[in-house]
Amino acid sequence: EPEVTQTPSHQVTQMGQEVILRCVPISNHLYFYWYRQILGQKVEFLVSFYNNEISEKSEIFDDQFSVERPDGSNFTLKIRSTKLEDSAMYFCASSNLGVASPLHFGNGTRLTVT
């Protein structure tokens, strides 16, 4: 069964550094999402992306964050200047028919900001 893949599985970075989290959604999927989960807490929506533009973003997704689909397969989340509170698990998800189909999640990238 096709999977959403995320790399790296764990990223450690220093405060103030830029990080790029990478995702390869399932190949025929059109809708892409990033979520984050601070350890032990709920899974929070960050941003949705469709047709090469952001559809919706949460208040968490401030100017420090950006998303890009640089080619036909990758979907990236960039954090420009990381803060300690950005330490979390970041999940990429995709779906093919929008709301009629479920979201398929990747295994996540654990980001640790020191």
Partner 1 sequence: AQTVTQSQPEMSVQEAETVTLSCTYDTSESDYYLFWYKQPPSRQMILVIRQEAYKQQNATENRFSVNFQKAAKSFSLKISDSQLGDAAMYFCAYRSAMNRDDKIIFGKGTRLHILP
Which spans of this chain sit near partner 1 (rule: CB under 8 A)?
31, 33, 37, 41-45, 48, 50, 55-56, 89, 91, 93, 97-99, 102-105, 107-108, 110
Q: How far is the CB of 29 from partner 1 (least distance, A)?
A: 11
Give the residue with the Cβ less far from partner 1, 10 or 78: 10
Give the residue with the Cβ less far from partner 1, 8 or 16: 8
CB 6 within 8 A of CB 94: no
Give the residue with the Cβ less far from partner 1, 19 or 93: 93
- Give CA–CA dist 101/111, Å, rounded: 28
Q: How far is the CB of 75 from partner 1 (least distance, A)?
A: 13
CB 33 within 8 A of CB 108: no
φ/ψ (deg, to 5) at 108: 90, 155
> CA torsion, points 28, 63, 84, 24, in degrees to nearest 10?
10
Q: How far is the CB of 45 from partner 1 (least distance, A)?
A: 5
DSSP classification of residue 73: S
Which residues does 39 contact at the CB level (< 8 Å), separation at least 6?
87, 88, 89
Q: How far is the CB of 99 from partner 1 (least distance, A)?
A: 5
Give the residue with the Cβ less far from partner 1, 55 or 73: 55
